[in-house]
């Protein structure tokens, strides 16, 4: 078996467990079916790229992107635990190189991102099926956004894990950063109507691009602005991946 496949199998085995899968489904369920319908009285409809959506449909599609981002925490956690418990040295004593280790983490977060997107799409479909407009580009858009988003946020988690040594600092920083990404984005509410400074920050947040692309694929609202967001997401993912790779290559475990 190829070394990268062996490491990916190891990463998935230690990352994906019943607890992880329950968290990846139950948490979005609470938001979609409790918060989504509870806020419908306050937010009867949301406009997305000139298409009116119910708030539960808007939220359910946003939760796909949120879960992709949330699931990529496994990348930082794997690296952190390997550093903390001396696992990296043991891996390097086998038929593995740093390149194998880095590539296996990227493949892992891409797989986890796709699994997460599939789970939430299945869970949320009953909510947004009335507004769905699938086309030939729907699945490619969701796959692209899932992989690009997983690499981008997985790279951020990896960068954080390489720069911090204390467990307290790691947990505080990574949770703070990801909470900021989650709630200062269009995952939970639209930018329209928000104060201008806040709306501007929304579009400095890569999660906004991720959820916008997913919504465009699901609801058939592909515009020039969405294409621009795809380019930005791909460029950011590439840059952060390169930074994370260089830091991992030079890291003294």
Query: What whole-number percentage of the chain has pLDDT above 70?
Result: 95
Mean pLDDT of 225-235: 94
The per-residue pLDDT for range 170-215, each reduced to its tens digit, is 778 888 888 899 889 998 888 887 788 888 899 999 999 999 999 9
Q: What is the pLDDT of residue 235?
A: 96
How many structural domains compose the chain?
A: 1
> Which one is predicted more confidently, 16 or 126?
126
User: Across all residues in the chain, what is the average pLDDT?
Assistant: 83
Residue range(s) defining the domain that contains residue 225: 3-250
Q: What is the pLDDT of residue 50?
A: 82
Measured distance CA(78)–CA(65) in Å, rounded = 21
In the predicted model, is pLDDT for residue 134 greater than 60?
Answer: yes
In the predicted model, is pLDDT for residue 252 greater than 70?
Answer: no
- Quickly list H helices, the chain: 3-15, 18-30, 36-38, 55-71, 73-84, 87-92, 98-128, 138-163, 167-183, 196-202, 206-219, 224-250
Q: pTM of the predicted model, to two decimals?
A: 0.85
């Amino acid at each position: 078996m190829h070394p990268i496949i062996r490491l990916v199998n190891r990463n998935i085995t230690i990352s994906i467990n019943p607890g992880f899968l329950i968290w990846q489904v139950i948490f979005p369920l609470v938001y979609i079916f409790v918060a989504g319908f509870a806020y419908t009285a306050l937010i009867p409809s949301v406009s997305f790229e000139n298409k009116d959506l119910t708030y539960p449909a808007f939220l359910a599609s946003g939760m796909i992107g949120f879960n992709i981002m949330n699931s990529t925490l496994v990348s930082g956690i794997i690296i952190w635990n390997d550093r903390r418990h001396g696992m990296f040295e043991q891996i390097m004593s086998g038929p593995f190189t740093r390149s194998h280790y880095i590539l296996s983490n990227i493949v892992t977060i891409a797989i986890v991102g796709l699994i997460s997107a599939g789970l939430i799409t299945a869970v949320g479909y009953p909510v947004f099926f009335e507004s769905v407009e699938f086309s030939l580009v729907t699945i490619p858009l969701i796959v692209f956004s899932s992989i690009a988003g997983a690499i981008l946020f997985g790279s951020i988690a990896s960068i954080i894990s390489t720069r911090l040594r204390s467990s307290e600092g790691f947990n505080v920083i990574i949770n703070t950063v990801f909470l900021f990404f989650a709630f200062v984005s269009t995952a939970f509410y639209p930018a329209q109507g928000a104060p201008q400074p806040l709306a501007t920050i929304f579009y400095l947040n890569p999660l906004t691009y991720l959820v916008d692309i997913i919504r465009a694929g699901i609801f058939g609202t592909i515009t020039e602005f969405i294409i621009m967001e795809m380019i930005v997401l791909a460029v950011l993912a590439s840059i952060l991946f390169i930074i994370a790779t260089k830091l991992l290559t030079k890291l003294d475990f």
